[in-house]
């Protein structure tokens, strides 16, 4: 789950800044953007510590499932 949040938190911060940027001003937009990057860094650091012990993968989407193999889109840590 942490791997997905590494990508989604900055995307969410960008979306909030893009939609509400003029209403919250430059300072608010900057705070949201930096906070999104920092939270993503924290999740990345936690995931790195977890992956050092044992590598793992997260499957995001399984594309074209076949009998013996399938094509998956995901993250490998």
**For residue 70, what pLDDT is reported?**
85
4 or 24, greater pLDDT? 24
Distance, CA of 21 to chain centre: 21
Mean pLDDT value across residues 4-25: 91
Three-state secondary structure call for residue 55: coil
Distances from the Cα of 57 to the Cα of 9, 16, 41, angstroms: 19, 29, 19
Tens digits of residue pLDDT in 20-63: 988 999 999 999 999 999 999 999 998 888 888 888 888 888 88
pLDDT at 15 over 80: yes
- pLDDT tops 80 at residue 2: no
């Amino acid at each position: 789950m942490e791997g997905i949040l590494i990508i989604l938190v900055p995307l969410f911060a960008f979306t909030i800044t893009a939609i509400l940027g003029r209403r919250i001003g430059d300072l608010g937009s900057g705070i949201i953007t930096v906070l999104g990057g920092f939270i993503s860094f924290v999740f990345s650091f936690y995931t790195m510590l977890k992956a050092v012990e044992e590598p793992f993968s997260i499957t995001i989407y399984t594309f074209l499932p076949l009998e013996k193999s399938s094509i998956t889109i995901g993250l490998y840590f």
